[in-house]
Amino acid sequence: MSVLTLDRSVLQLLAIPIVALIVMKSLSKSKHRMPPGPRGLPILGNIFQLPQFQWLKFTEWKEQYGPIFSLNLAGNPVIVLNSHEVVTELLEKRSTIYSDRPRFIMAHEILTGGIFIAFSGYNAIWRKLRRAGQEGLNVRASEKFQPLQQEEARFLTYQMMTNSRDWDDHMRRSAASSVLCAVYGWDPIQKSDDPLITRINDLMHRLVRAALPGAFLVEIFPMMLHLPDWMAKWKREGSEWHRKDTEMFEGFIGKQEVLIATEGNKPCFVASLLDQQAKHGLSRKETAWLAGTMLGAGAETTAAALSVFMLAMTLYPDSMRKAQREIDSVVGRGRLPAFADRPHLPYLRAMVKEVLRWRPVGPLGLPRRTSEDDWYNGYFIPKGTVVIANAWAMNRDPRFYPDYDEFRPERFLDEKDGEIDIPGTRGQGHVTYGYGRRICMGMHVANQALFIDMATILWAADINPTKDDKGNPILPSQHDCVDEGLVVRPAAFPCTVAPRTADSMTVVMQAVQSELGKLNT
């Protein structure tokens, strides 16, 4: 009998009690009143009511059931949070109860060995990794990455003006290169098809696919985890991928150690991790995976946010012109923007916020799980409930963003260009980076990258829609999007990136050549 036949036989035997298990879960559901929500089917609940772009349906249900509503997914309780007030109360003020994760057996326990911080439960390992990551990526620590990000922004701008047709490929390369430099201190990646970018993207997509509900039967029947490897092909393959990925990430750490020994301690995230490894009690494997996580997650989210920026500039030329006028008044035309200009560019800082608010690249984020029974406004939320925070709905709350579907950076500035605070956003103006103890560790690095990329591109170039045969602009859709698993980004669209002035390309090229010259010496 083949292994494949055994796998199929085991699955068939385990599948027999599946209906009984769902029924038992449904019948054992608490008699206490949970938040209201849409009616579903007997036993299966609301499973078949969830479309591909769930955040849109959740926002629709918000109007019907309120800022907090519940779902039943085959006996598993889920609550969806849709307002700043509810999120602040539950995910911020009661964060000790609402910071756990659902169990991701394949994605977390097998593919990443239980040390992937994004999937990790609220436990001692997570706290250790979080402390180490936060120390290397806080506001002050992030400033040491600015010279690298500035160099990358210039090379990106040069590539886009040279070949605007492939602007999205350039942005994906640039985001990966920028994060790689910040994490490992390596030289920039100069080709969009670099094998390293492909390898990291493949890893992240594999993890996201493995975390999808129903992707592996072991998520429903955890006892399958104890099957011997020869009976479970999925388990063998997952363990092998974990071995290969660990080998890759530990190899990156080894390369960094060689660089430190030969060239000195170049500022980067891994250098600080290695320096503080004993302090945080990290093993070599934990250090390697924490750094790899920052690389994988940071590259795709930054690239997706930059694609939102390009969409906004194509559809809202008045905003582009206003940002360019501000940049010209502060920077002039004789040099490129730098981080020293950041305090004097309030409209551009507001534009970064608006890009992240207008089309959040993670409209739902990763789900959480309650670690205790809880009550909120008379509603019972049982232990083990999956909690989803709908950032899309909160970033479009008409109380704070009256014309929420419009791209308008001015919403974050008063008449004197002072910054306007939006309640419940920690000064970010949006909730795209998350909430509470699980808020994105890399948000300061991401804000820096977006600022300098946008400033440099707008200093040098105009972004315009392409034209048809009759000279009419071809405007991209404002709402079409692509769900790539880890991020949601605008659907692909063409645009042109042309130098604003005759000397724009010359100034950018000279800066790029200067930086390349440093790399070659």
Binding residues for heme: 440
| Residues 135, 269: Cα–Cα separation, whole Å | 9
| Residues 236, 232: Cα–Cα separation, whole Å | 7
SS3 of residue 407 by DSSP: coil
Instruction: Please check whether residue 481 is in contact with residue 487, taking contact to mean a CB–CB distance below 8 angstroms.
Output: no
| Residues 100, 97: Cα–Cα separation, whole Å | 7
Element (H, E) at 497: strand 495-499
Instruction: Please check whether residue 112 is in contact with residue 289, taking contact to mean a CB–CB distance below 8 angstroms.
Output: yes
- CA nearest neighbour of 361 among 204, 487, 175: 487
Q: Kindly give the interhelix angle for 146-162 and 167-184, rounded to the nearest 10 degrees.
A: 160
Distance of CA 202 to the CA centre of its chain: 16
| Residues 496, 467: Cα–Cα separation, whole Å | 9
CA 151 vs CA 114, 267, 349: distances in Å: 36, 15, 19
Instruction: Please check whether residue 226 is in contact with residue 322, taking contact to mean a CB–CB distance below 8 angstroms.
Output: no
Q: Kindly give the interhelix angle for 284-315 and 167-184, rounded to the nearest 10 degrees.
A: 150
Within 8 A by CB and 6+ apart from 281, the residues are 128
Count CB atoms within 10 A of the CB of residue 392.
23
Element (H, E) at 69: strand 68-73
| Residues 145, 137: Cα–Cα separation, whole Å | 10
SS3 of residue 71 by DSSP: strand
